[in-house]
Amino acid sequence: MANAWPPVAEADPTPVGRTLSVEEWLTLDEDEPGEWVDGELVGEEMPDATHELVVSWLIRAVGAWLGPEGFVFGSAIKLLTAETRGRKPDLAILLPGSKAPPRKGPWREPPDILVEVVTPTPRDERRDRVEKMAEYARFGVRFYWLVDPALSAFEMFELTPERNYQKLVGVTEGVIEKVPGCEGLSISVDALWRELARLTD
């Protein structure tokens, strides 16, 4: 008997909303989506070409500045931000002089910079601008960057002693000549938007 086509998809063994222990979340396959919030698996944004191009562009820009010092990682990194919370930020950056991350397993200490690329849906915008911002601040992440391609906005925040974020940079064009905490690094927002403009509608 010929196989049916298209093949029937198997049931997702880790559906969104399922209660997971931290060990279960950490041992999910690398390609298994979802973040861990209050002991439950929650959906994460579904990246499109715009999202991934921003991430890859920033990895190249920041990586070139870091050279052999520091680290920049993409969204496969799992970060335990609290006893019942685990996130997968779009970028995690460790500046020169910071402690190197573990070769395997989750990060349990805050990196210097976390970056989220905002997806233009109300749920995703709330997650990045409200939920994760508060969570990363409590965790102790010194700098938080938000890139919003739909609004052509690039924002940079710094942690205050009260564990809140203060906006230091908010631009829609030009060049960020002095990136907070990153002496010698400049980011051409115009060049990033030009890169995104290469994509077709």
CB contact at 8 A, 185 and 170: no
Q: What is the pLDDT of residue 9?
A: 41
pTM to 2 decimal places: 0.86
What's the number of domains the chain is made of?
1
Would the pLDDT of 16 be above 70?
A: no
Q: How far apart are CA 20 and CA 201, in angstroms?
A: 39
Q: What is the pLDDT of residue 44?
A: 73
∠ Cα 130 132 135 (to 5°): 105
Identify whether 16 is part of a domain.
Answer: no
Q: What would the pLDDT profile of 21-58 be if each residue is shown by its tens digit?
A: 777 777 777 667 777 787 788 777 777 999 999 999 99
Domain that holds residue 81: 46-197
- CATH number of the domain residue 176 falls in: 3.90.1570.10
Identify whether 40 is part of a domain.
Answer: no
CB burial string 168-178: b at 16+ within 10 A, e below: ebeeeeeebee
Identify whether 136 is part of a domain.
Answer: yes
DSSP per-residue codes, the chain: -PPPSSPPPPPPSS-TT-B--HHHHHTS-TT---EEETTEEE------HHHHHHHHHHHHHHHHHHTTSSEEE-TT--EEEETTEEE--SEEEE-TTSPPPPSSS-B-S--SEEEEEPPSSHHHHHIIIIIHHHHHHHHT-SEEEEEETTTTEEEEEEE-TTS-EEEEEEESSSEE-S-TT-TT--EEHHHHHHHHHTS--
Q: How far apart are CA 117 and CA 16, in angstroms?
A: 21
Q: What would the pLDDT profile of 90-101 be if each residue is shown by its tens digit?
A: 999 999 999 999
Identify whether 190 is part of a domain.
Answer: yes
Identify whether 123 is part of a domain.
Answer: yes
Q: What would the pLDDT profile of 132-154 be if each residue is shown by its tens digit?
A: 999 999 999 999 999 999 999 99
Identify whether 60 is part of a domain.
Answer: yes
Average pLDDT over residues 66-95: 91
Identify whether 19 is part of a domain.
Answer: no
